Amino acid sequence: MKNQKGFTLIEILLTMSIIAILFAVVVFVINPQLRFEEARNSERNIEISTILNAVHQYRLDNNGTLPASITQTPTEICKTGAVSCVGLIDLSVLTTNEEYLIEIPIDPNGVCNSNGVCYEISKTGNSGRITVTAPDAETSSTISISR
């Protein structure tokens, strides 16, 4: 009988088992779901900052006047080109002629009112302090920026 070179079934199974264990450890350590949640939260942070900057620039250009629809109650912002903004904050003055924003950013998950963007905006009393919040933030985070 010839002496054949190759791998035995035991060697192949052992190698596959080691690879499977290493793969499981890597997936557990990396935790891709958590990384995706953190990435979406980073995007939310950037987007609410963009909205706040646009409102602030509008205020500077209009002698301290805010868009009229902003109230003291945190309310969801209406999306650009929405059919109806009833019950939402209409910031279309920011997107007119794309002067401050091309369009109002929408939450990465996008699971919100059909005409909303899942971000809320409010002002504090007469101080004019504006707060933009991402109420659908993940990983038990609260994402809110005020100016």
pLDDT higher than 70, residue 7:
yes
Domain assignment present for 128 = yes
Instruction: List 143's β-bridge partners, or say none.
Output: 134
Distance of alpha carbon 17 from the chain centroid: 39
Share the mean pLDDT of the chain.
Answer: 93
Residue 104 and residue 91 in contact, taking contact as beta carbons nearer than 8 Å:
yes
The count of domains in the chain is: 1
pLDDT higher than 80, residue 86:
yes
How far apart are alpha carbons 79 and 82 in whole angstroms?
6
pLDDT higher than 80, residue 83:
yes
Domain assignment present for 13 = yes
Domain assignment present for 62 = yes
E strand segments, the chain: 75-78, 116-124, 129-134, 143-146
Q: How many other CB atoms sit within 10 Å of the CB of residue 39?
A: 12
pLDDT higher than 70, residue 95:
yes
Domain assignment present for 3 = no
Domain assignment present for 1 = no
pLDDT higher than 70, residue 18:
yes
Per-residue pLDDT tens over the stretch 96-130:
999 999 999 999 997 888 899 999 999 998 778 99
Total-model pTM: 0.83
Name the pLDDT band for 6 (thresholds 50, 70, 90): confident
What's the sign of the alpha-carbon dihedral 137, 104, 86, 61?
positive
pLDDT higher than 90, residue 50:
yes
Name the pLDDT band for 1 (thresholds 50, 70, 90): low
The pLDDT assigned to 141 comes to: 85
> Looking at residue 141, which CATH number applies to its domain?
3.30.700
pLDDT higher than 90, residue 92:
yes
Domain assignment present for 58 = yes
| Residue 26 structural domain | 9-146
